[in-house]
Amino acid sequence: MFGLIDCNNFYASCERVFRPELEERPVVVLSNNDGCVIARSQEAKALGVKMGAPYFQMRELMERHGVVVCSSNYELYGDMSRRVMWYLEQVTPAVEVYSIDEAFLDLRGMTRHYDLPSWAAELRGAVRQRTGIPVCVGVAPTKTLAKVANRVAKQEMLRGQGPGVLLLDDEAQRRKVLAQVAVEDVWGVGHRSAAKLYAAGVRTAAELAGVSDVWARKNLGGVVGARLLLELRGVPCASVVVEDEARKSLACTRSFGQPLSELTDLAGAVATHVARAGEKLRQQGLAARLLTVFVETSRYAGPPPPYSFSTQLTLPVATDDTLVLAAWARRGLERIYRPGRRYVKAGVVLDGLERAGQQQQGSLFAPLAASPERAALMRTLDGLNSRYGKGTVRVGTMVAAPGQREAWAMRREAKSPAFTTSWQELWKVRC
């Protein structure tokens, strides 16, 4: 059996954990630079606030109905996600973190010892009690059916007809639930496949489960389509994947708060991304051998035509050293920078990841490994930033002139405090 935990309206729920006055009020969260709506509470959805809609188009509606607008606070959302996932890992045999607000649970063997609906309800309550995040739980013989069960459980809960938990464990119930789900809402069915299915008269998940294997192979991607049918029929074709191997790549990128033209400003933005990427490498015990730097101009700004270019650099040896990565990133940026352009985004991607400290084949003109002194320096850097706050110690290129704000910083005019990741912004309790 598989479980699927999905956090309800996750970003909005994170905002409510530390701001209880937002309960039962419409809440939206905006994207980078307060551009578009990326999360909505149920109350905001009921008002007609559209997902992905530009903020300026929805602003009048929001102001008229008293919608609380929050800038994206990814530090908070990431930390709350880690708290939810950590607890799930303590109480289930295996967890696959599918996204920031979803996780698959491997429940094999638990049916012998637990009544799964009761266990799932207790799990849902425990996550809410420990983190403040509301979740729904779907349990089924396959991952695809677990996604379906979770979706229906959430819909029933919103209608006041269910506890936010649904177990699909018999054929009759499976058919009944699948008949309630539109085919485009099935996990793995994209827009093109949905169009083909509608053209063939297949409109529900139950009807999809009943098509022939031959038709599915021909029209739904061969083996992928055949596996989807089996999963809907209760035959598991995918298992829970626990991430115990090194990641294949790591990216850090952000849009700027305002267009940038000066190389020094772009260098500061790229150094900021490199510093974050280097920190992530060290947290995961990895080192990178390939570094890609890219910059973009706006596609909507008119002439000159949009400019997007990248360059990939092969490092002499794999490294997790922020200073080394920053120096190479500056070389890459200077290679692709064009004066006079107004850039709106930049970023770095690290590839060729391997376990840090393993024996490497270096070049004749580069050291085979980081010196103990540099490794100690990076540990000290991370320790200071962890103890005294993110960005306490930074690469010089990242530092703006005294009294000035970084030109590349995002606009987040309605950002909530970093309630869980900054000592300066923790809640203060007064007696």
User: Where residue 109 falls among pLDDT bands split at 50, 70, 90?
Assistant: confident
Which residues have a Cβ under 8 Å from the Cβ of 339 and sit 6 or more positions away?
Answer: 261, 263
Residue 222 has pLDDT above 80, yes or no: yes
Fold of 9-75: MutS, DNA mismatch repair protein, domain I (3.40.1170)
Distance CA 60, CA 64 (A): 6
Residues 42-67 pLDDT 10s: 999 999 999 999 998 999 999 999 99
The DSSP 8-state label assigned to residue 326 in this structure reads H
Name the residue type at position 193. Answer: S
Note whether 2 and 111 are within 8 A (CB). no
3-state helix, strand, coil in the chain (%, to 5): 45, 20, 35
First vs last C-alpha separation in the chain: 49
The answer to whether 177 and 149 have CB atoms below 8 angstroms apart is yes
Q: Which residues pair with 311 in a beta bridge?
A: 293
More confident residue, 405 or 416: 416
Does the structure show a pLDDT above 60 at 406? yes
CATH number of 76-233: 3.30.70.270
The DSSP 8-state label assigned to residue 251 in this structure reads E
Which ranges of 304-428 does DSSP label H, i.e. alpha helix? 322-336, 372-388
Greatest C-alpha distance within the chain: 70
Given a contact cutoff of 8 angstroms between Cβ atoms, the answer to whether 162 and 156 are in contact is yes
pLDDT, position 401? 63
* Average pLDDT of the residues in 215-241: 88
206-220, 335-349, 389-403: range with lowest mean pLDDT:
389-403
Q: What does pLDDT average to over the chain?
A: 87
Mean pLDDT score, 184-209: 90
Taking the model in full, what pTM does it have? 0.77
Across 361-369, average pLDDT: 54
Residue 326 has pLDDT above 90, yes or no: yes
pLDDT of res. 74: 87
Question: What's the pLDDT score for residue 366?
Answer: 55
Per-residue confidence (pLDDT) for residue 295, from 0 to 100: 92
Most confident of 298-302, 374-378, 393-397: 374-378
Q: Please write the tens of the pLDDT for every residue from 110-152.
A: 877 788 899 999 999 999 999 999 999 999 999 999 999 999 9
Q: Nearest 5°: phi and psi at 110?
A: -75, -20
- The whole-number pLDDT of residue 367 equals 53
Query: What is the pLDDT confidence band of residue 246, given thresholds at 50, 70 and 90?
Result: very low
Are 351 and 318 in contact by the 8 Å Cβ rule? The answer is: no
The ranges of the chain annotated as CATH 3.30.70.270 are 76-233
Are 337 and 266 spatial neighbours (Cβ–Cβ below 8 Å)?
yes
Residue 114's contacts (CB-CB under 8 Å, 6 or more residues apart) are: none
Confidence band, pLDDT 50/70/90 cuts, at residue 301: low
Tokens for 240?
């829970």
Q: What is the CATH number of domain 250-398?
A: 3.30.1490.100
As a whole number of angstroms, the distance between CA 48 and CA 65 comes to 11
Residue 334 has pLDDT above 70, yes or no: yes
Mean pLDDT of 387-394: 80
- pLDDT, residue 71, reads 92
| pLDDT tens column, 64-101 | 999 999 998 988 999 999 999 999 999 998 999 999 99
Backbone dihedral angles phi then psi of residue 214, each to the nearest 5 degrees: -65, -45
Residue reference for tokens 């049918």? 229
